[in-house]
Amino acid sequence: MSKTVLFISPTGTLDNGAEISIVNLMKFLVDKGCRVLNVFPDYKVASQEEYRAALQNAGIETYGLSAVKWWWEEAPGGLPGNHFMRVNSYNKNIKDIRNIIVENKVDLVISNTVNVFQGALAAAYENVKHFWLIHEFPEGEFGYYKEKLDFIDSFSDEIFAVTGALTENLQNYFPKRKIYSFAPYTHIESVESVKTESSYQHRIISVGRLTERKNQLELIKAFGLLDKSDVDLVFLGGWDEDYKQICDDYIAEHQLKSVSFLGHVDDPWSMITDKDIAVFPSSMETFGLVYVESVLNGIPTILSDNEGHRSAFEYMNEQGHMYHLGDLDALTRTISDTLAQFNQEKLEAVQAVPSLKERYSLERVYSTIVEKLKDSKMNHKKVNQADVSFLNSRKAFKKCVQSALKKLLRLKKLS
Task: Give the number of other CB atoms < 10 A from CB of residue 375.
Answer: 11
Is there a single domain that holds both residue 93 and residue 219?
Answer: no
> Would you give per-residue pLDDT tens digits along the chain (415 residues)?
689 999 999 999 887 888 888 899 999 999 999 999 999 999 888 888 889 999 999 999 999 999 999 999 999 999 999 988 999 999 999 999 999 999 999 999 999 999 999 999 999 999 999 999 999 999 988 999 999 999 999 999 999 999 999 999 999 999 999 999 999 888 776 666 556 554 468 999 999 999 999 999 999 999 999 988 899 999 999 999 999 999 999 999 999 999 999 998 888 999 999 999 999 999 989 888 899 999 999 999 999 999 999 999 999 999 999 999 999 999 999 999 999 999 999 999 999 999 999 999 988 999 999 999 888 776 655 666 566 777 775 555 455 555 555 655 665 555 5
- Domain-embedded: residue 414: no
Report whether 320 contacts 302 (CB < 8 A): yes
3-state secondary structure the chain: CCCEEEEECCCCCCCCHHHHHHHHHHHHHHHCCCEEEEEEECCCCHHHHHHHHHHHHCCCEEEEECCCCCCCCCCCCCCCCCHHHHHHHHHHHHHHHHHHHHHCCCCEEEECCCCCCHHHHHHHHCCCEEEEEECCCCCHHHHHHHHHHHHHHHCCCEEEEECCHHHHHHHCCCCCCCEEEECCCCCCCCCCCECCCCCCCEEEEEECCECCCCCHHHHHHHHHHHCCCCEEEEEEECECHHHHHHHHHHHHHCCCCCEEECECCCCHHHHCECCEEEEECCCCCCCCHHHHHHHHCCCCEEEECCHHHHHHHHHCCCCCEEECCCCHHHHHHHHHHHHHCHHHHHHHHHHHHHHHHHHCCHHHHCHHHHHHHCCCCCCCCCCCCCCCHHHCHHHHHHHHHHHHHHHHHHHHHHC
- Domain-embedded: residue 51: yes
Is there a single domain that holds both residue 163 and residue 89?
Answer: yes
Is there a single domain that holds both residue 325 and residue 176?
Answer: no
Can you give the pLDDT at residue 44? Answer: 87
- Domain-embedded: residue 115: yes
- Domain-embedded: residue 192: no
Can you give the pLDDT at residue 200? Answer: 65
Is there a single domain that holds both residue 237 and residue 280?
Answer: yes
Where does a domain end: 323, 341, 359? 359
Task: Give the number of other CB atoms < 10 A from CB of residue 384.
Answer: 9
- Domain-embedded: residue 415: no
pTM comes to: 0.82
Can you give the pLDDT at residue 114? Answer: 95
- Domain-embedded: residue 412: no
CATH assignment at residue 234: 3.40.50.2000
Is there a single domain that holds both residue 348 and residue 368?
Answer: no
Report whether 338 contacts 186 (CB < 8 A): no
Is there a single domain that holds both residue 334 and residue 388?
Answer: no
Can you give the pLDDT at residue 199? Answer: 45
407: CB partners within 8 A, 6+ apart: none
CA distances from 401 to 394, 395, 407 (A): 11, 10, 10
CA distances from 289 to 60, 282, 308, 320, 322 (A): 23, 12, 10, 14, 15
Can you give the pLDDT at residue 113? Answer: 94
Can you give the pLDDT at residue 385? Answer: 59
Owning domain of residue 116:
4-185+364-405
- Domain-embedded: residue 10: yes
Is there a single domain that holds both residue 163 and residue 17?
Answer: yes
Q: How many domains does the chain have?
A: 2
Q: How many CA atoms lie within 13 A of 243 on its CB side?
A: 15
Is there a single domain that holds both residue 233 and residue 330?
Answer: yes
- Domain-embedded: residue 197: no
Distance CA(191)–CA(307), nearest Å, equals 29
Is there a single domain that holds both residue 147 and residue 230?
Answer: no
- Cα three-residue angle 386-387-392, rounded to 5 degrees: 70
